[in-house]
């Protein structure tokens, strides 16, 4: 074998290594965790910063790697053909094609890419700097290629909805690929944060039927007894009729004004110590309401509809519970309005919200057209059912137990067994 053939074989070997480098670099850099690279970059890792810079110009990166990979493959195949013709005459063309196909597929594609996929972050950190140099050297060529491609294929600009869907998918995969309960809970919390931009105050508020209110016309003794027997620290104060809310009474404000001698009647004026009410529309998104609470340093808001009528109350705790789940204290009752029965069914108050029921029982009843259980039954049946009527929808049975005028007070619900 002549020296020329030996040099050709060595050149082919070098080109195969170059092809493996480009293939593994493409897979490693595109599969690397952008979040981890950003975290390492903020800690001062220069290689991670290089990876971040490369991923920031992904089109240019892919073009460079494809150009480099195809260049070494074409040159390697040409040299192999030349060497084969020298050794085997015309029959060497077929042998060179077969041999290079096998070598390129196994050693320049499958093995490098498999390794890169399984060690993406580690490989990306190692190849980032040399790849960045190659990207700079091939910039004129990739710039020309990029303009040609853009003339043929218009670039796709991702909107906010696409990015949000991608983020939701990543969170779901993160929770689905683990058996760790804590990790699953973290994934659920992250998904709940994204939901704040879609859920309105109306869906999480305490309905007016469940709100404990204070009548400003009552005597101080009656007001004191009502507040002290309540598990809540803030109470809407109304004058005349419940829709006319004139203030919010905090239990601390009331206690600070109890300065009468022992045994004498209380003399405080509830309107003087009540705070000014903060009204919000029922269509307010939770993310906006959370920001408003932070800005105003408020924890409590009165929810009204489009006509200004009182609908309910929403608190900072209600919004936080949408993220982290129920936050119970020593005065909280476990989902008031829902009672488990021995036959496996549940008796629910009509004003119980669908979101609370779904969260408590891990159900998936829709809450697009209705907020409460009673509202869901009315929306699905298109009537106001009588007591004793039973319905089935969304894989759940509903039986109206009690109706007062046009209000469904109590409903029995249970899931049908799945076959």
For residue 385 the two structure tokens come to 């059912």
What pLDDT does 262 receive? 55
**Where are the CATH 3.10.580.10 domain residues in the chain?**
201-324
Q: Is the pLDDT of residue 266 over 90?
A: no
What pLDDT does 322 receive? 82
What pLDDT does 259 receive? 64
What pLDDT does 314 receive? 95
Largest CA distance in the chain: 120
Which stretch of 80-94, 390-404, 405-419 has the lowest confidence by average pLDDT? Answer: 80-94
Q: State how far the Cα of 313 lies from the Cα of 53, in Å rounded to an integer.
A: 48
**Chain segment 392-403, per-residue pLDDT in tens:** 999 999 999 999
Instruction: Give the residue among 226, 55, 227, 38 at the shortest CA–CA distance from 127.
Output: 55
- Eight-class DSSP state of 285: B
Mean pLDDT of 54-81: 89
**Chain segment 180-217, per-residue pLDDT in tens:** 767 777 777 777 788 888 889 988 888 887 889 999 99
* Beta bridge partner(s), residue 215: 238
What pLDDT does 333 receive? 46
Ramachandran assignment for 368, one of left (phi > 0), alpha (psi -120 to 50 degrees), beta (any other): alpha
Average pLDDT, the chain: 85
What pLDDT does 157 receive? 59
What pLDDT does 397 receive? 94
Which H or E run includes 236?
strand 234-238
**Chain segment 6-28, per-residue pLDDT in tens:** 888 888 899 999 999 999 999 99
Positive or negative, the Cα torsion across 192, 196, 197, 202?
positive
What pLDDT does 167 receive? 73
Instruction: Give the residue among 310, 33, 358, 304 at the shortest CA–CA distance from 195.
Output: 358
**Chain segment 170-180, per-residue pLDDT in tens:** 777 766 666 67
Q: Tell me whether strands 214-215 and 234-238 are parallel, antiparallel or unpaired.
A: parallel
Q: State how far the Cα of 29 lies from the Cα of 131, in Å rounded to an integer.
A: 10
> Would you tell me which CATH number, out of the four given (3.30.465.10, 3.40.50.1100, 3.40.50.720, 3.60.21.10), belongs to the domain 338-415?
3.30.465.10
**Where are the CATH 3.30.465.10 domain residues in the chain?**
338-415
Which stretch of 19-28, 93-102, 271-280, 383-392 has the lowest confidence by average pLDDT? Answer: 93-102
CATH architecture, range 201-324: Roll (3.10)
Mean pLDDT of 55-78: 89
Q: Is the pLDDT of residue 287 over 60?
A: yes
**Terminal alpha carbon distance of the chain:** 75
Report the predicted TM-score, pTM, of the whole model to 2 decimal places. 0.60
């Amino acid at each position: 074998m002549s020296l020329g053939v030996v040099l050709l074989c060595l050149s082919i070997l070098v080109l195969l290594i170059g092809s493996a480098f480009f293939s593994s670099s493409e897979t490693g850099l595109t599969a690397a965790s952008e979040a981890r690279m950003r975290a390492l970059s903020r800690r001062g890792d220069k290689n991670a910063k290089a990876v971040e810079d490369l991923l920031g110009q992904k089109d240019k990166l892919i073009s460079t790697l494809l150009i480099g990979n195809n260049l070494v493959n074409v040159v390697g195949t040409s040299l192999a053909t030349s060497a084969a013709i020298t050794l085997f005459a015309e029959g060497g063309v077929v042998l060179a094609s077969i041999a290079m196909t096998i070598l390129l597929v196994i050693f320049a594609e499958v093995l490098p890419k498999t390794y890169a996929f399984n060690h993406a972050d580690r490989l990306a950190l190692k190849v980032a700097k040399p790849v960045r140099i190659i990207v700079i050297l091939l910039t004129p060529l990739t710039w020309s290629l990029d303009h040609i491609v853009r003339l043929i294929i218009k670039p796709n600009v991702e909107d906010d909805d696409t990015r949000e869907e991608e983020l939701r998918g990543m969170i779901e995969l993160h929770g689905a690929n683990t058996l760790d309960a804590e990790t699953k809970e973290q994934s659920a919390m992250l998904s709940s944060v994204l939901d704040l931009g879609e859920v309105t105050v109306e869906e999480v508020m305490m309905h007016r039927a469940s709100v404990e209110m204070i009548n400003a016309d009552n005597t101080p003794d009656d007001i004191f007894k009502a507040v002290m027997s309540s598990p809540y620290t803030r109470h809407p104060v109304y004058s005349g009729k419940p829709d006319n809310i004139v203030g919010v009474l905090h239990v601390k404000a009331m206690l600070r004004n109890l300065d009468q001698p022992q045994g004498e009647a209380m003399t405080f004026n509830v309107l003087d110590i009540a705070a000014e009410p903060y009204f919000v529309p029922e269509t307010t998104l939770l993310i906006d309401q959370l920001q408003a609470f932070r800005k105003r340093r408020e924890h409590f808001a009165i929810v009204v509809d489009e006509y200004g009528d009182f609908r309910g109350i929403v608190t900072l705790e209600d919004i936080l519970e949408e993220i982290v789940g129920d936050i119970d204290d020593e005065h909280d009752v476990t989902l008031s309005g829902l009672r488990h029965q021995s036959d496996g069914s549940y008796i629910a108050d009509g004003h119980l919200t669908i979101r609370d029921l779904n969260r408590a029982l891990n159900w998936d009843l829709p809450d697009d057209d209705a907020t409460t259980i009673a509202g869901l039954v009315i929306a699905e049946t298109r009537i106001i059912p009588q007591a004793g009527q039973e319905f089935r929808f969304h894989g759940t049975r509903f039986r109206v137990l009690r109706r007062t005028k046009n209000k469904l007070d109590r409903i029995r619900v249970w899931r049908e067994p799945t076959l």
